[in-house]
Amino acid sequence: MKQLPPIISAAPPANNPARGAGEPQVAEHLAEHVAEHEEAADLSEASEIRDFQIGQPQHGQRLDRALAELVPEFSRSYLQQLIDAGAVELQGRPVTKASATVHAGAAGRIELKPTPQSQAFRPEPMALQVVFEDAHLRIIDKPAGLVVHPAPGHWSGTLLNGLLALDPRAALLPRAGIVHRLDRDTSGLMVVARSRAAMDALVALIAARDVQRQYLALAHRGWQGARARHVDAPIGRDPRNRLRMAVVDLERHSGKTARTLIELLDGDDRGCAVRCTLETGRTHQIRVHMASIGHPLVGDALYGGAPAAGMTRQALHAFRLALVHPVTGEPLEFRSPPPADLANGLTDWGLDYNRA
């Protein structure tokens, strides 16, 4: 098996000095939510009650679509949030379904107020480890536990919030420049755009699979068979548990093709250290593929793993990121050593994660 340079020799290029900063597939409607934050900001912290009446042009429409016509200065998505929050009444009764059909002549009232979603996209200073930056992109070494972008249950304290505080220009970009993500409890390297030209080019590079992403993982059970295994198994929503992803039969369930190269680094009867190279980028891809071949990640309870070797989060770290600079064309490669919990877990099991 071809051996890559040691993982622990992580360092940014000499002509691109790292710096600490103190001043992550992404949500599809993030740019619209930034606009919603501006809408809510216009209302200040106070709410405004506005009466309306369903006219003939809105008769038979969905409530959210009708409101978008009657209150046109606010986005439909923001109005849907207000409906969900019980801030819309029709004929004196709250209506909480955006799909509810409305009828001409019905009188209504809407409370225009900030929502958790609309307030989520605010700058929040945080210590982000920046290993490289120039005018076009930034490489972040994300710690485990940091959510990449706002979502239900995590409307603040995300990488996106930190990026908005770190760089005011991020507010001008969709998703604050985020072009891919890591799960909350996965640590490691991410590339973030700082200009629209770089963002568009990075999205194209990722789609063309020209951004190389490699991960170090610690998994349960002793490895058997060839030291390198190419897993080619489609991934979709688990039909038995919608909170999980799973390997699926595309003839019976929706999903997408997914491919991961998994290489054994070291192992014993308790478990194995492996290097995973993504060839596609599906949600939870490595976690699902590792579980599918009988090696769930240590600490990954969602996919059959359990705490072990001192690890209580999924033992997965994005240690290598390589790409051609989207603007200058310069080859870039970055490496990140495993964080303390994963390094200690590997040591506890006596596994050498730099072994061929």
For residue 139 the two structure tokens come to: 């490489």
Q: Which of 167, 183, 266, 341 is catalytic?
A: 183
Give start and end residues of each alpha helix (H) in the chain.
Answer: 30-42, 63-70, 76-84, 159-166, 196-207, 285-292, 340-348
Q: Which residues pair with 276 in a beta bridge?
A: 215, 262
Examine the residue annotation and report whether 266 is marked as an active-site residue of this protein. no
Task: Describe the crossing of helices 76-84 and 30-42 by its angle, rounded to 10 degrees.
Answer: 70
Exposure of 61 in the CB half-sphere (CA atoms within 13 A): 17
- List Cβ neighbours of 35 (8 Å cut-off, separation of 6 or more): 75
Gap between the Cα atoms of 226 and 238, Å rounded: 28
Q: How far apart are CA 268 and CA 266, in angstroms?
A: 7
Contacts of 11 (CB under 8 A, 6+ apart): 335
Chain centroid to Cα 162, Å, comes to 14
Strands 316-324 and 187-193: parallel
Can you read off the two tokens belonging to residue 78?
A: 């923001």
Assigned token pair, 259: 């491919």
Tell me which amino acid residue 165 is.
A
What positions carry a catalytic annotation? 183
